Amino acid sequence: MNEAGIKAVEKILVAGKIQNDTRTLVLGIGNNGRSDDGLGWAFLDELEASGIFNGKMEYRYQLGIEDAELISHFDQVVIVDAYADSLERGAAWQPCKPEDNFSFTTHEVPPGVILHLCHDLYGKTPQVDCLLIAGKDWGLKIGLSEDACQNLDRAFGLFKERLVYQLNE
Amino acid sequence: MTQKIAIDPVTRVEGHGRVTVHLDDNGKVDDAFFHIVEFRGFERFIQGHPYWQAPVLVQRLCGICPVSHHLAAAKAIDQIVGVDPEDLSPTATRLRQLLHYGQIFQSHALHFFYLASPDLLFGVDAPKEKRNVVAVAMEHKELAKKGILMRKFGQEIIKAITGKKVHGIAAVPGGIQKTFNKAEQKYFLEENDTPSAKTMIEWSKEIISFIRSYHEKHYLWLDSFASYPSGHLGLVTDDGAFELYNGRMRAIDSKGNITLNDVHNDEYLKYFVEGVEKWSYMKFPYLKSLGRHEGWNRVGPLARLNVSDSMPTPLAAEEFETFKAYTNGNTNNNTMHSHWARLIEMLYCAERIQELLHDPDILGDDLHREGVQRPEGIGIIEAPRGTLIHHYRVDEKGMITKCNLIVSTTHNNEAMNQAVKWVAREVLDEQKEISEGMLNQVEVAIRAYDPCLSCATHAMGKMPLQLSIYDHLGNLVNERSRN
């Protein structure tokens, strides 16, 4: 296959897969000063260190209204966040649907509302999926708990399962 | 029988506070208080850390105005390493100013578009489902889109200089850690995903036009709601002009008489003292010469315009003159005019950002200066919400032994309490039922100060605000909470 052919194949969106190019955004939510709340950021650190992802990454303490504008520039968005309850496999995918019913605080806007605003204001509806990672400790500490570290590895595995690898890799 | 009303939490402000209204046995308002119930003790735990960590640690006080804490601390630490503001390199000074204006621009955009605009666009009696920025976004799309991009512009300036939109690092003792490059300069001067500085100036003018026309229609409310005489405090240049980064402290009373005459930063302790009340963790700063009940001042956009003789940038200067003319040049004590003042400051920041982006000094490589170490440093800056004071002392090894922070919202503590008392007496008095709209008016009065309660108490955690009514025996008779 020639170079043009490879590029053409790379651009085909595969259902249920994460496109591995600049049209994809991964948002890591959290606060690494609160132990396992830093899972979203730790995921981005690991993703960057792995060198397998060619899309864009952004760190966030929480989602804000302006993220509706940010995600409007992408076809696919993965939001990675710590989960305060247990998950069967320690990590799980959760699809995101637009939501127009919520109570606003300056500190937190749910992903579904961001998606709703993105469509309403910018006429774009990227595919948004949340990758939840179960945490255990939420105290004032830098560093993940042992359980969270294991769950981070599981989440990374789930992400890699969906990631479309470049044909020339 | 005395009753007490409490709002807990108060919404669309930064932090967790509580409002209580005390009624007498005739159902009339006896008194009202704005309690700040967060506590963190930041001033204590920073002790023992090396001085150079201060600008990094203290910005964790807040996720909205970390840059202000970073820069105020940096200015103080500059003095500890023997570098006064005039000794910083031009590049370091310009980039810190650019960062500061970017911060104020984004913070003011956040407050006006996200927090205050629902009250102005939908009214204080609108259903609570409507009083939020998402409702604004759905019904006023173009306004919302501009608000989002204006905040983004300020955040991108911050990111370009500090590496991150929140909690990045730029200032180091005696300077700044990186310079700007031509690509970054070009990015902000041209239209991209982020609009240009020129567009920010245009949009700032448009928003001021909006608020002026809003004033024409709603002047009866805006000129009276939660208004009361007070002192005003802010920084000014040596010739009395509006200043946000480095100036002298000036205070005036409600009639415009000067009560603090252009005092140098180093002297603040001679003039200020902080009072305490048993019902709040937030202190009450005041001028020693006037005492606890007469010496308190408002700070922030309204105060800054009140204490200034002029505005240094041309377009903001025109708006400043219009603003001053509204009260015939007299001190403006109208709380709700804070929004108008805030938007004039946005225009000023946009003009200064454009000017700095054209300044070749921002591309320089002289980033850092050194001097002879001193035991003490004081940094004072105008943060988005008002005058911010950072004061540190260090031992011979450079470890911090004392830290005193007087943040903007703390200066406004008495002012917010006066605003709450005004609403309690004018709106809640002798009402059998407390409606949602009445509760919101308490919040509207507080919100005009754009308080950051987490900064004021150096607090952390979830930040809802809350209103309770108590009788004269201390029995809770009504309570509303929002999260």
Q: How much is the average pLDDT of B118-144?
A: 84
Query: Pick from A73, A104, A107: which is nearest to B134 by CB?
Result: A104
Shortest CA distance from B129: residue in chain A: A103
Distance from first CA to last CA of chain B, Å, rounded? Answer: 30
pLDDT of residue B194: 93
DSSP code for B342: H
Q: Kindly report the three-state secondary structure assignment for every residue of B18-66.
A: EEEEEECCCCCEEEEEEEECCCCCHHHHCCCCEHHHHHHHHHHHCCCCH
A18 belongs to a structural domain: no
The average confidence (pLDDT) of chain B is 88
> Distance, in angstroms, between B7 CA and closest chain A CA?
16
> Could you report the per-residue pLDDT of B252-275, keeping only the tens digit for each?
999 999 999 999 988 999 999 999
Q: How many CB pairs under 8 A join A and B?
A: 57
Mutate to test the interface with B, among A32, A62, A104, A116 (most CBs of B within 10 A): A104
3-state secondary structure at position B129 = coil
pLDDT at A8 over 70: no
Which among B454, B377, B413 is positioned nearest to B81, based on CA atoms? B377
Q: Structure pTM?
A: 0.87
User: Considering the domain boundaries, does residue A2 fall inside one?
Assistant: no
Please name the member of B133, B462, B482 whose beta carbon is closest to the beta carbon of A65: B133
How far does chain A reach from its first CA to its final CA, in angstroms? Answer: 14
The answer as to whether A47 is a domain residue is yes
Q: For residue B39, give the DSSP letter.
A: -
* Residue B334 near residue B223, CB atoms below 8 Å: yes
What is the reported pLDDT for B177? 94
Residue B59 to chain A, least CA–CA distance (Å): 13
User: Is A17 part of any domain?
Assistant: no
User: Given phi > 0 = left and psi -120 to 50 = alpha, else beta, which region is A143?
Assistant: left
Mean pLDDT of chain A: 86
- Length of chain B (residues): 483
How far apart are the C-alpha atoms of A108 and B462, rounded to whole Å? 10
Q: Does B459 contact A at CB distance below 8 Å?
A: no
**Chain B: residue whose CA lies nearest to A120:** B138
- Only one residue has tokens 């204590």, namely B44
B115 touches chain A (CB under 8 A): yes
Residue A21 counted as domain residue: no
CATH code for the domain of A134 = 3.40.50.1450
Average confidence (pLDDT) over A56-85: 93
- For chain A, helix, strand, coil in percent to 5 are 35, 20, 45
**Which residues span the domain enclosing A93?**
26-138+145-162
What is residue B458's predicted lDDT score, i.e. its pLDDT? Answer: 39
Alpha carbon distance B211, B312 (integer Å): 22
And the tokens for A50?
A: 């792995």
Rounded to a whole number of angstroms, the CA Rg of chain A reads 16
Please write the tens of the pLDDT for every residue from B297-356.
999 999 999 999 999 999 999 999 999 999 999 999 999 999 999 999 999 999 999 999
Q: What is the pLDDT of residue A10?
A: 44
Size (chain A), residues:
169
Residue B458 zone, left/alpha/beta (φ > 0; ψ -120 to 50; rest): left
| Chain centroid, CA B229 distance in Å | 20
pLDDT band at B477; cut points 50, 70, 90: confident
Least confident of B55-64, B206-215, B218-227, B473-482: B473-482
**pLDDT by residue (tens digit) across B345-400?**
999 999 999 999 999 999 999 999 999 999 999 999 999 999 999 999 999 999 99
Q: Regarding predicted confidence, which is higher, B401 or B405?
A: B401
Residues of A in contact with B462 (CB under 8 A): 107
Q: Interface pTM (ipTM) of the complex?
A: 0.78
Determine the Cα–Cα distance for residues B87 and B72; give it in Å rounded to an integer. 16
Mean pLDDT of A18-43: 93
Pairing state between β A24-29 and A76-83: parallel
Tell me the residue ranges of DSSP E strands in A67-117.
76-83, 91-95
Q: How far is B151 from chain A (nearest CA, A)?
A: 8
Of B385, B297, B379, the C-alpha closest to B338 is B385
Contact between B420 and B378 under an 8 Å Cβ cutoff? The reply is no
Q: What are phi and psi of B284, to 5 degrees?
A: -125, 90
Which residues touch B274 (CB under 8 Å, ≥6 apart)? B283, B284, B285, B286, B406, B410
In a domain, A3, yes or no: no
The residue with greater pLDDT, B52 or B409, is: B52
Considering only CB atoms, which chain B residues are within 8 Å of A103? 132, 482-483
pLDDT in tens, B17-63: 678 888 888 778 888 888 765 556 778 888 999 999 999 888 877 66
Q: Residue B38 phi/psi, 5° resolution? A: -90, 150
| C-alpha distances out from residue B318 to B304, B309, B310, B323, B335, Å | 16, 13, 10, 9, 22
Residue B453, pLDDT score: 57
B303 to each of A102, B240, B253, B276, B327, how far by Cα in Å? 35, 14, 10, 23, 14
For residue B157, the Cα-to-chain-centroid distance in whole angstroms is 19
**Confidence band, pLDDT 50/70/90 cuts, at residue B174:** very high
Would an 8 Å CB–CB cutoff place A121 in contact with chain B?
yes
Average pLDDT over residues B451-472: 56
- Mention every residue, 6+ apart, whose C-beta is less than 8 A from residue B267: none
Q: Which residue has the higher pLDDT, B97 or B457?
A: B97
Residue linked to tokens 């004072």: B380
Cross-chain residue pair A65–B14, CB shorter than 8 Å: no
Q: How many domains does chain A have?
A: 1
DSSP B284: E
Decide if A65 and B137 are in contact by the 8 Å CB cutoff: yes
φ/ψ (deg, to 5) at A110? -65, 150
Does A129 fall in a domain?
yes
In this prediction, residue B184 carries a pLDDT of 96
What is the C-alpha separation between A112 and B77, in angstroms, rounded?
Answer: 44
- Over range A13-24, report the average pLDDT: 81
Tell me how close the Cα of A56 comes to any Cα of chain B, in angstroms. 15
Q: What is the pLDDT of residue B276?
A: 87
